[in-house]
Structures are given as C-alpha cells and as structure tokens.
Amino acid sequence: MAKKNSKTKSGSSTIALNKKARHEFHLEGKMEAGLELQGWEVKSLRAGKANIADSYVFLKNGEAFLLAATIVPLDKASTHVVCEPMRSRRLLLKRKELETLIGKVERQGYTLVATAMYWKQNWVKLEIALAKGKKDHDKRADIKDREWQVQKERTMKHKVR
C-alpha cells in the first residue's frame, strides 16, 4: 500500500497584521505585492519578529517602497551583517499595477496602507490597500454601529428564550 504525499501546514501563514488600519482608514481596494528582502530579514520573519502597525507604502520614481515596517534582527543570524530594522523595502509589483496605484494616489487622494504580511508558499507577500483617512466623527459612528450590533444580538438572544 502506497502512502499519500500530503503537505501539512505547521501553523498560520500570517506573519503580521495591521489592525489599526480598519480603524484609521476607509479601506477600498486590496492588492498583493511581493517584498524584496535580505537573508537576515527572512530568518527574522520565520521567527515572527515583524511589525507593520504604522507602516505605509510610498511611491517614488515609478516604484513602490514599504516604509516604517520593523523587522527585528535575530542575534545569531546576523553577526557579520549590519542590520537596519526600519529600512525601506522595495515592493515587487507589475508595471500596470504600479501605474494604477500611482494614478489613484496622485489624482484621487488615496493612501497606500500595508494591512497584512503573510507567507505564500515560500514567498513573503504584503497585502496593501487603497485607503482614505477617517475623520473623528466617522470613527465614532463606527463604534456606535458596533455597539448597536452587540446590543441587538443581546436583545434577540433574550427574546428567543
């Protein structure tokens, strides 16, 4: 009897999430981009030492860069390399995708925000979203809607009994 060759995942493929993005921005369109990384950064990402909470995407000279993302270097993996945890990292996007992003950001006033970093097979991918900033009253309205949903669920639960 032959064994079936099955690949099992050892955990989640998510490396880092930006939970503040939904609170701070109206997220509209999402896109997947690759990251240009150094060897020590990949080792640190495998250990889960990444933070994209305050990161954003900057467009310059027809290229996209991830700024303010922190990848903490491992002590043993980077003894001979000078590591810069907050360096700007180039995003790998197709020319057509870059042109649409440049058009939306420059003409329509959108911001590009990193929302998630994850593994896709052996590659590190970054989910970026086109976003517009929320005002304070928008945030309050979202909180009020969320609280109303919770209260509505409670009342429905008590009415059923």
The tens digit of pLDDT for each residue in 75-129 reads: 876 567 788 899 999 999 999 999 999 999 999 889 999 999 999 999 999 999 9
pLDDT interval class at 63 (50, 70, 90): very high
Q: How far is CA 114 from CA 14, 69, 90, 109, 138, in A?
A: 13, 9, 13, 17, 21
Q: Which helix (H) or strand (E) holds 120?
A: strand 111-120
Task: Compute how many other C-beta atoms are within 10 angstroms of the C-beta atom of residue 107.
Answer: 8
Lowest mean pLDDT among 19-23, 32-36, 69-73, 81-85: 81-85
Whether the pTM exceeds 0.85: the reply is no
CATH number (1.10.357.10, 3.40.50.300, 3.30.465.10, 2.40.280.10) of 14-134 reads: 2.40.280.10
Residue 129 CB partners (closer than 8 Å, separation 6+): 21, 25, 27, 28, 29, 30, 31, 112, 113, 115
pLDDT interval class at 143 (50, 70, 90): confident
Which amino acid, 4? K
pLDDT at 7: 52
